[in-house]
Structure 1
Amino acid sequence: MTTAASRAAILTLLAAVMVATRLHHFGAVPDASWAVFFVGGFYLHRWTRWAFPLLMALAVMVDWIVISGQGIDFWTHYCVSPGYWALVPAHLAMWAGGWWLQRHAGGIGWRALGLLVASVVASVAVCHLFAQGGFYWTSSAVAEPTVAGWWKNYTDWLLPYLRVTAMYVGIAAATHVLVARLLPANAALARDGARR
């Protein structure tokens, strides 16, 4: 069972990862935001009412800092259109995917790995639908939007976003397995030490 203290530590770590990677959207280290929301849904589902809005507000704040730091008005930036607010349901799709996985995985094993892969792919596909679609259909950067143009844009960017998200979620999953394998050993050592 996850304690409040461990959930707080996970929330703090996720916020730090998002800030560290989102500050440099196009830098050498890719943005981990989608994975952060997925992992948040997995570990912080009981805190959804306030943890999700907190991480969402943090994402917007980081975007505002980055854009304003370039001397550009936030509301006139290329990436900010009325579709920017589609990031709320987009990130919620990632959160829901993590939450769904937590409810259905049932431990560590091949079944859980299969469910992890399926939930990441489905979550990214829906998240990208909102994020990319919101931008494509509402931004003045797209002069003449068409269904064919939207589909090409969607498919062109889906795999790169999936790859980055899967990389970060894979790191989180490997850490989860490692900690789960080490904790029983640590608990046994603590019991043995207490008996002596």
Structure 2
Amino acid sequence: MTAVTVGAFLAQKYTIGGEASSEMPPPSPRIASTQVDLVALQEAATESCMCERRGGSEEECNAAYASARQALLFKIYGTSQFDEMAASATACAPVSTEIDCFEFTDGERCITTGFSVNGASNDVENRRVCTVNEARAIERAYEDGWLGEDGVEPDPNDEEEWRVANERATGAVDDMLRRILAGEPTPPREPSGGCAG
């Protein structure tokens, strides 16, 4: 599933030659976020991600979320015709958050559509997780691997220590990711301070 930022696209779509078009102003949000069920939309996004993980096709898995998303766009803007939108994700390691954001009259609200695991090696084929707990488990595995058994950061002036710490962290992420993809439950985790929250 592709994550998108609606507001950025609107600004781009209705701008011509660097200046806003006087013929087609960008639509303004018509409702507040309190007027929609963002929890249900988040649940549909998470289920879409989980469906793909179970081997479903992107089209099949994304159908319910795409339908709910289009209905939301219609409620917000009076139209649901936004076909070419830019993807949006955080640029973090070891986990980046993929988001789909919507502008309301009371500000922007985002739905998490998944998490890209960029701290894994190329040995793991599927490098995407679906829930906050899974993403936090990846972040914790990376941190524990990076620090090692003694819990101490590697010496920044010692290239060998950094190489070893990086190998440990990558191995720990690979192991956790394989466990998640195999269906092992991930217990609730406290916020880690990373991109997973």
Which TM-score applies when normalising by structure 1? 0.30
**Which structure is larger by alpha-carbon Rg, 1 or 2?**
2
Which TM-score applies when normalising by structure 2? 0.30
